[in-house]
A and B are shown apart, each in its own frame.
Chain A
């Protein structure tokens, strides 16, 4: 295990703890940049999908992982970002370079606006409130048909930046790089928020609202800000999702997507950027993994490739139950344990990551 000798206060908030860590992440970035040369068109599409989910996951992670507010309604903000982006381009002729950030701003404002009355709510009530928002948005898209084209849906135009075309099908590599660029920018934004006083305020609110208030944190404002930033990032992911899907309607962003998004970051590991990416890998690649294993099984058994409806979400659900019961820290938590085991070899103890036992007291009758 490497011990870092800290010589300045900045060492606590640097992007990387030491040079070797920075080198590894740079290597990962280079690998991600070279991916289009290593993979075929189909897999680049899948990787793009994974990155978009990861961006949405990071958006939700700021809210759930950092501020501790559960939201079951983030598909609503994916939808707002997506519709805002495409409508700005189609109806007002705004170029993508402007409409894309504007979509994020609109989704963020919507999120902050909705958060204001909701900041009073805790835990489960908040989850229900956001659930209601997700369902309402789904229905509102259908009702606002003149603008959104209702259940028929809208086409996302090809992205055009200074004459360069970005299209999912015509130029998948370029589209991948665009999404990768956005993802890297969002990672930087995320890291910087965590380094700033705002990020500390988020953590304080997550760990104890009462003590955060005692430390002088404006809880309502912090929650609203967290909502705003989270939904803005989710809105950007939604805009990309629209371009990726090509055609979308209210069903593209239904309540199941909201739930899946929350489940995804739990599987990945709450409270870290890694968690969003691990979760996105599971969500984006699970259908492919199922398809491949089905082909393998039918290859051995010799039966036909029978599609079982709902198998995907059932496996997802079973995975999730396993993780919540046995590894509440998610994939990233497991990775941390494995890494610590090897770093401290042979001094790793089983109890090093043991959770504290606590007794639940009601929130109703105190």
Chain B
């Protein structure tokens, strides 16, 4: 079990409160879908949970440690994937740049991850030549290479076609069964129903609902979430 705890966490910008105050203990085991309309604060929530964003106030801990100090051990997949101007293998290997592994161990690990995301045959090609779906699979390999307990994903499939999305979901499901947790921001409700074990629903920077996926889709409690599911917001 991986517990992420938000203690009175807020994030402000230009004097405006964008997220929080959040007080939530999240079991990041399995897949947690993060739902909410544009501007609800999903991306900021992910970045705060990962540790790449410093809260304005309060703190976020993972298994008792400040997330900022341990963020190297978690994965993050951005909506607009970051393709370094290198080969696919070098893009994945970059996440091991600060690791103490030997060169041969790193190479083996990269090879293993590329095989898992079905990109081994593209290893030596420039990452810029990958399709959108392939690029996000490469990002998944990069996010997983440090053996994280949890990976944050910010709408990773938003620009993928249905077949690429299905391929991505299948890989995530396989990785999940190996014990890695995912917090997955998505606008695709059907995707959340297919993949999620838990759902967090956000509205105006606050968490309106935090429940199992089954409960969320069967008996939504908050008005905001009901309106969201009905397509009203």
Q: Does B bind A?
A: no
